Amino acid sequence: MVFDKFQDVELPAAFDAHVHLRDGAMSELVVPTIRQGGANTVYVMPNLVPPITTVQQALDYRARLQALEPNVEYLMSLYLHESITPDVIKEAKKAGITGVKSYPAGVTTNSSSGVVDYTLFYPIFAELEAQNMILNLHGESPSGSSITVLNAEAGFLPTLRELHARFPRLRIILEHCTTAAAISTVRALGPTVAGTITAHHLYITVDDWAGDPFCFCKPVAKTPEDRDALLRAAASGSPKFFLGTDSAPHAATAKRGGDRIAAGVFTQPYAAQLVGRREGREQGLEAERYV
Ligand SMILES: NC(=O)N[C@@H](CC(=O)O)C(=O)O
């Protein structure tokens, strides 16, 4: 195949369905990299400190992001929390907020206010379903006696199945799938369940983050077989799988030092390039020649 003839191809801007843009000085650095990375629409995660749990907080946050880069569409989310009621969901719908993100308590960066018992939130899920809004799931079980970072996603899949069975019309996105099991589960569930795939999980495996804090994120990258399942899903064209980079910037000091390494891989400035290059290879193209 002759690649030179493709050199003038211009790709449309991407939708990145999972970004961490932070706030304050960090957001001033990160927000300008959205367009650089090839995206013009982003779904913004609410795990600020404190988390975004009210409609007003989400709208104020969006205004701060718009002031930094007006040429991006920011789809906003609320952080699933006990202070959120069905009335808040109705208000969120009216205000144009897209969905609600659920973090299991303690599994990742800024998740200390997260969910312990999903059944407590069934009225919220019912209202999200009624309002045709999205439930975004960080799909990991908290580490415990038999759960570690390696099987935390697999351990969460029964919860995903249960939520879909109870709320079959609720649009659920299993965020940042990292395992073949997650891919096959999303594929097997009904059309209201989809999964996002990050750019970095198309490349890295356990060996990369074991020893390199800059490859450490939650959920952690798994085996080469899992990575290949992600690649096949990403390149399959199935509408059930789409890009959500989970680009998650941290201060270099939080990645290199301290008692615990912060979880998160920052890919925003290279998001579309990374995905194009990897999917191209999966399809047998030497797509790196474009990058
Ligand atoms: N992915 C990560 O490892 N970290 C994210 C949180 C998250 O989405 O889990 C972050 O906010 O840094």
Atom 4 of ligand 1, nearest CA residue:
264
pLDDT over threshold 50, residue 290? no
Average pLDDT across the chain, whole number: 92
pLDDT over threshold 70, residue 3? no
What is the pLDDT at residue 15?
97
The separation between CA 44 and the C-alpha centre of its own chain, rounded to angstroms, equals 9
Q: What is the mean pLDDT of residues 112-130?
A: 94
- Pick from 16, 216, 217, 267 the residue to mutate for probing ligand 1's pocket: most ligand atoms within 8 Å of its CB: 217
Write the CB contacts of 284 (distance below 8 Å, at least 6 apart in sequence): none
Amino acid identity, position 35: R
What is the pLDDT at residue 264?
97
Q: How far apart are the CA of 248 and the centre of ligand 1, in A?
A: 6
Nearest residue to 109 via CA among 267, 207, 254: 254
Higher pLDDT, 108 or 59: 59
CA distance 201 to 198: 6
Higher pLDDT, 260 or 180: 180
Does the beta carbon of 152 sit less than 6 angstroms from any atom of ligand 1?
no
**Intra-chain end-to-end CA distance of the chain, in Å:** 17
Domains by residue range for the chain, with CATH: 4-8+24-290 (3.20.20.140)
Does the beta carbon of 248 sit less than 6 angstroms from any atom of ligand 1?
yes
Does the beta carbon of 108 sit less than 6 angstroms from any atom of ligand 1?
yes
Q: What is the mean pLDDT of residues 26-32?
A: 98
Atom 2 of ligand 1, nearest CA residue:
264
The confidence band for 7, taking pLDDT boundaries of 50, 70 and 90, is low
What is the pLDDT at residue 260?
87
- Atom from ligand 1 closest to the CA of residue 264: 3
Q: How far apart are the CA of 108 and the centre of ligand 1, in A?
A: 6
Which residues are known catalytic residues? 18, 20, 101, 138, 176, 246
* Length of the chain in terms of residues written: 291
What is the pLDDT at residue 4?
57
Q: How far apart are the CA of 66 and the centre of ligand 1, in A?
A: 22
For 66-86, how does the pLDDT look when each residue is reduced to its tens digit (9 = 90+)?
999 999 999 999 999 999 999
Does the beta carbon of 201 sit less than 6 angstroms from any atom of ligand 1?
no
Nearest residue to 102 via CA among 159, 169, 186: 159
Q: What is the mean pLDDT of residues 174-191?
A: 98
Residue 53: φ, ψ to 5°: -120, -5
Atom 11 of ligand 1, nearest CA residue:
109
User: What is the chain's Cα-based Rg?
Assistant: 18
- Asked which of 39-43, 87-91, 275-279 is least confident by mean pLDDT, the reply is 275-279
Q: How far apart are the CA of 30 and the centre of ligand 1, in A?
A: 15
Does the beta carbon of 221 sit less than 6 angstroms from any atom of ligand 1?
no
Does the beta carbon of 195 sit less than 6 angstroms from any atom of ligand 1?
no
For 268-281, how does the pLDDT look when each residue is reduced to its tens digit (9 = 90+)?
999 999 998 776 66
The confidence band for 179, taking pLDDT boundaries of 50, 70 and 90, is very high
What is the pLDDT at residue 289?
38
What is the pLDDT at residue 2?
44
Q: How far apart are the CA of 10 and the centre of ligand 1, in A?
A: 31
pLDDT over threshold 60, residue 180? yes
What is the pLDDT at residue 145?
80
Does the beta carbon of 109 sit less than 6 angstroms from any atom of ligand 1?
yes
